[in-house]
């Protein structure tokens, strides 16, 4: 059960880059468009107010320079704040998406490791997912299948092992053809026992 | 493979794994809404402030008044001994109508000084005077339209002992102002109307932009939530779809059925994962076939060696092997 305490590592958060980044790019683009549009509109509104004040101060050049400089500075601060808000929104959403998609990609990665073992004819123990992982129902299906399949192979192997033992006890000659075939059955049982351990 | 062709996605089936898909999508929606709400509030505050500033500035715009055809009433000071004579002399000018008269208080005027005309203020003010004694306006220019008058020959007896410090003789000028022509009145009306229309247009424009910002904010919020919701369900479906398919094969394997594995639909994600599953399926199918072959070998060996007759245990074991072989044979679907 010590494997169950395995924590998440930052370097492993992008397990399936294509799967994870696709959604991140979509959300980032959508947020950027919305923030950009709102930012432009709010800047335009502030710019209109600034221009009206500038026109009204045209008769007082000395005072106008100072006021206009202050208004321009305020408008620039507004733009900077909007840009910072947009970037912050995108960064927070992107990080959250990476974490969320990692909770999908993580279980898939784990299942992939078991699948690779199954491909090589190995059915070892399936450990549960980490807390907070998604795809729990899918993983339960996989785990149930794995347990059931392993049980059947164990049953077959135990039956074969029992048969080999009984056949050897029955006095089959080891050097002959039947003894050779019995030996092959024994080797198969040993390999299978190792694969199911 | 033929089954795969022509299979299309159905909206009814988009929630294949509701717990995963809804959890993922609703979490994203909640976070997006949580981030957008303060941003929207801030944008709304800024828009309101900018709009109020702009409207205040627009409200300070003063449009010119329309010229009136009626001349303002003349302000005539009460007659006094010092200026009564001058008043009589100037009465002839007063007959020319319409004129605006301006009277200057006797303690605030100088001798024989022309008085500057002020078209705006009916109440007279002492005119500014330059170094040469000519009347000037605020910029120091000589005032036009002034009326110079002859100084009356006044003789004064001076008694040094009783002579008070009397004010100088006052000359009050009467300034004529030409009444505006109908064309000028019409022009001033047009100018005022244009100015008022411009102010109204500016107000409408500023208020319209504020409404636009509010509208865009609402639409952005709806688009963001709908976009994230729909795209979230669609994206998770592209993950849940292959997993649903894999889940069906997993159920079959759990029930000891080794079926043929077909390819994914076009556009599905997890293609790489599915390839791993196909390889694994092929691997466990090979294991099943190998077990089947070994069971066949064992049963063949038992028959050849007549092991079933040697002991009841062996007979039972061989019967078990035959049962397992039947199961294995049935589990492998041949297509």
Q: Cα distance from B96 to chain A (closest Cα, Å)? A: 40
pLDDT of residue B175: 59
Q: Cα distance from B113 to chain A (closest Cα, Å)? A: 33
The answer to whether the beta carbons of residues B307 and B318 sit under 8 Å apart is yes
Confidence of residue A141 (pLDDT cuts 50, 70, 90): very high
pLDDT of residue B237: 83
Q: Cα distance from B271 to chain A (closest Cα, Å)? A: 10
pLDDT of residue A69: 82
User: For B28, which residue in chain A has the nearest alpha carbon?
Assistant: A97
Percent of chain B's residues with pLDDT above 70: 63
Residue A31 has pLDDT above 60, yes or no: yes
Confidence of residue B13 (pLDDT cuts 50, 70, 90): confident
Residue of B40, B15, B9, B13 lying closest to B224 (CA atoms): B40
Percent of chain A's residues with pLDDT above 90: 32
pLDDT 10s digits, B273-314: 999 999 999 999 999 999 999 999 999 999 988 888 888 889
Q: Do A170 and B310 touch (CB under 8 A)?
A: yes
Interface test with B, best of A98, A170, A180, A195 (most B CBs within 10 A): A170
pLDDT 10s digits, B158-213: 555 555 555 555 555 555 667 888 888 999 999 999 999 999 998 998 899 889 88
Confidence of residue B315 (pLDDT cuts 50, 70, 90): very high
A148 in B contact zone (CB under 8 Å): yes
Percent of chain B's residues with pLDDT above 90: 24
Q: Do B301 and A104 touch (CB under 8 A)?
A: no
Interface test with A, best of B16, B268, B284 (most A CBs within 10 A): B284
Query: Burial code of B119-132, b = ≥16 C-beta within 10 A, e = fewer?
Result: eeeeebeebeeeee
Q: Do B280 and A144 touch (CB under 8 A)?
A: no
pLDDT of residue B22: 87
Q: Cα distance from A6 to chain B (closest Cα, Å)? A: 22
Pairing of strands B128-129, B135-136: antiparallel
Q: What is the CA radius of gyration of chain B?
A: 54
Residue B147 has pLDDT above 80, yes or no: no
Residue in the block written with tokens 């992939």: A112
A64 in B contact zone (CB under 8 Å): no
pLDDT 10s digits, B229-254: 888 888 888 888 888 899 999 999 99
The answer to whether the beta carbons of residues B104 and B143 sit under 8 Å apart is no
Q: How many angstroms separate the CA atoms of A144 and A146, rounded?
A: 5
Residue B142, φ and ψ in degrees, nearest 5:
-70, 140
Confidence of residue B40 (pLDDT cuts 50, 70, 90): confident
Confidence of residue A58 (pLDDT cuts 50, 70, 90): confident
CA A89 vs CA A77, A101, A111, B29, B222: distances in Å = 18, 18, 33, 13, 17
User: Mean pLDDT of all residues in chain B?
Assistant: 73
Q: Cα distance from A84 to chain B (closest Cα, Å)? A: 11
A37 in B contact zone (CB under 8 Å): yes
Q: How many angstroms separate the CA atoms of B324 and A37, rounded?
A: 69
If DSSP codes are grouped into helix, strand and coil, which group holds residue A8? coil
State which of A33-37, A140-144, B241-245 shows the largest mean pLDDT: A140-144
pLDDT of residue B248: 94
How many other CB atoms are there within 10 angstroms of residue A95's CB atom? 12
DSSP per-residue string spanning B304-324: HHTGGGT-HHHHHHHHHHHHH
pTM, 2 dp: 0.60
Q: Which residue has the higher pLDDT, B86 or A42?
A: A42
Q: Cα distance from A145 to chain B (closest Cα, Å)? A: 4
pLDDT of residue A29: 83
User: Which residues of chain A does B324 touch, with a Cβ-Cβ cutoff of 8 Å?
Assistant: 155-156, 159
How many other CB atoms are there within 10 angstroms of residue A82's CB atom? 22
Q: How many angstroms separate the CA atoms of B115 and B173, rounded?
A: 6
Which two three-digit tokens encode residue B60? 């300070």
Which residues touch B206 (CB under 8 Å, ≥6 apart)? Answer: A45, A48, A49, B51, B54, B55, B58
Q: What count of Cα atoms within 13 Å lies in the side-chain half-sphere of residue A57? A: 17
Could you tell me where the beta strands, DSSP code E, fall in chain B?
128-129, 135-136
pLDDT of residue B137: 43
pLDDT of residue A143: 96
Cα A143 to chain centroid, rounded:
19
User: Which residues of chain B does A100 touch, with a Cβ-Cβ cutoff of 8 Å?
Assistant: 24, 27-28
pLDDT 10s digits, B83-132: 444 344 444 444 443 444 444 444 444 444 444 334 443 433 444 444 44
pLDDT 10s digits, A84-140: 888 888 888 888 888 888 888 888 899 999 999 999 999 988 999 988 888 888 999
pLDDT of residue A7: 54
Percent of chain A's residues with pLDDT above 70: 89
What would you measure as the largest C-alpha separation in chain A, in angstroms? Answer: 121
The answer to whether the beta carbons of residues B254 and A145 sit under 8 Å apart is yes
The answer to whether the beta carbons of residues A95 and A24 sit under 8 Å apart is no
Q: Do A37 and B216 touch (CB under 8 A)?
A: yes
Q: Do B251 and A142 touch (CB under 8 A)?
A: no
User: Which residues of chain B does A133 touch, with a Cβ-Cβ cutoff of 8 Å?
Assistant: none
pLDDT 10s digits, B268-278: 788 889 999 99
* Interface contacts A/B by beta carbons within 8 Å: 215
Q: Do B216 and A137 touch (CB under 8 A)?
A: no
How many other CB atoms are there within 10 angstroms of residue A16's CB atom? 21
Q: How many angstroms separate the CA atoms of A99 and A96, rounded?
A: 5
What DSSP designation does B119 have? S
User: Mean pLDDT of all residues in chain A?
Assistant: 83
Residue of B325, B263, B245, B321 lying closest to B288 (CA atoms): B325
Residue of B308, B298, B304, B309 lying closest to A182 (CA atoms): B298
Which two three-digit tokens encode residue B329? 């044979």
**In DSSP terms, which residues pair with B332 in a beta bridge?**
B258
pLDDT of residue B166: 54
pLDDT of residue A192: 93
Which residues touch B290 (CB under 8 Å, ≥6 apart)? Answer: A188
pLDDT of residue A122: 92
A66 in B contact zone (CB under 8 Å): no
Q: Do A134 and B311 touch (CB under 8 A)?
A: no
What would you measure as the largest C-alpha separation in chain B, in angstroms? Answer: 176
Which two three-digit tokens encode residue B76? 């005539």
pLDDT of residue B76: 44
Long-range contacts of B40-43 (CB under 8 A, 24+ apart): B40/A38, B40/B217, B40/B220, B40/B221, B42/A85, B43/A38, B43/A42, B43/B213, B43/B217
pLDDT of residue B68: 78
CA B266 vs CA B6, B149, B279, B282: distances in Å = 10, 106, 20, 22
């Amino acid at each position: 059960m010590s494997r169950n305490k395995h924590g998440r590592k930052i370097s492993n958060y992008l397990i399936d880059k294509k799967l994870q980044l696709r959604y991140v790019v979509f959300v980032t683009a959508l947020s950027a468009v919305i923030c950009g549009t709102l930012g432009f509109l709010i800047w335009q509104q502030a710019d209109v107010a600034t221009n009206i004040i500038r026109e009204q101060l045209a008769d007082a050049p000395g005072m106008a320079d100072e006021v206009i400089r202050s208004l321009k500075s305020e408008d620039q601060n507004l733009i900077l704040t909007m840009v910072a808000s947009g970037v912050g929104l995108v960064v927070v959403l992107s990080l959250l998406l990476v974490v969320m998609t990692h909770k999908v990609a993580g279980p898939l990665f784990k299942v992939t490791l078991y699948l690779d073992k199954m491909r090589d004819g190995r059915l070892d123990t399936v450990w549960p997912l980490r807390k907070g992982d998604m795809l729990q129902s899918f993983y339960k299906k996989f785990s149930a299948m794995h347990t059931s399949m392993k049980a059947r192979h164990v049953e077959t192997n135990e039956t074969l092992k029992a048969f080999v033992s009984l056949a050897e006890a029955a006095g089959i000659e080891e050097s002959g053809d039947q003894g050779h075939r019995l030996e092959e059955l024994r080797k198969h049982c040993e390999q299978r026992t190792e694969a199911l351990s | 493979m033929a089954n795969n062709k022509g299979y299309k996605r159905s909206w009814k089936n988009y929630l294949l794994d509701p717990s995963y898909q809804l959890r993922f999508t609703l979490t994203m929606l909640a976070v997006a809404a949580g981030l957008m709400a303060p941003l929207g509030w801030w944008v709304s505050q800024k828009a309101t402030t900018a709009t109020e500033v702009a409207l205040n500035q627009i409200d300070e715009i003063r449009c010119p008044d329309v010229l009136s055809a009626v001349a303002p009433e003349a302000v005539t000071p009460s007659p006094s001994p010092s200026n009564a004579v001058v008043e009589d002399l100037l009465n002839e000018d007063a007959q020319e109508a319409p004129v605006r008269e301006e009277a200057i208080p006797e303690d605030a005027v100088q001798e024989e000084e022309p008085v500057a005309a002020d078209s705006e203020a009916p109440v007279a003010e002492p005119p500014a005077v330059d170094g040469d004694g000519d009347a000037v306006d605020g910029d120091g220019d000589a005032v036009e339209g002034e009326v110079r008058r002859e100084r009356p020959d006044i003789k004064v007896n001076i008694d040094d002992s009783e002579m008070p410090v009397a004010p100088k003789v006052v000359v009050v000028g009467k300034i004529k102002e030409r009444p505006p022509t109908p064309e000028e009145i019409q022009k001033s009306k047009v100018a005022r109307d244009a100015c008022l229309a411009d102010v109204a247009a500016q107000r409408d424009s500023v208020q319209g932009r504020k409404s636009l910002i509010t509208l865009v904010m609402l639409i952005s919020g709806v688009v963001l939530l709908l976009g994230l919701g729909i795209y979230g369900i669609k994206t998770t479906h592209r993950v849940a779809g292959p997993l649903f398919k894999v889940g069906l094969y997993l159920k079959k394997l759990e029930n000891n059925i080794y079926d043929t594995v077909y390819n994914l639909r076009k556009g599905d994600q997890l293609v790489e994962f599915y390839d791993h599953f196909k390889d694994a399926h092929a691997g466990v199918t090979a294991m099943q076939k190998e077990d089947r072959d070994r069971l066949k070998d064992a049963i063949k060996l038992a028959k050849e060696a007549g092991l079933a007759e040697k002991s009841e245990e062996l007979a039972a074991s061989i019967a078990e092997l035959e049962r397992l072989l039947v199961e294995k044979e049935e589990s492998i679907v041949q297509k």
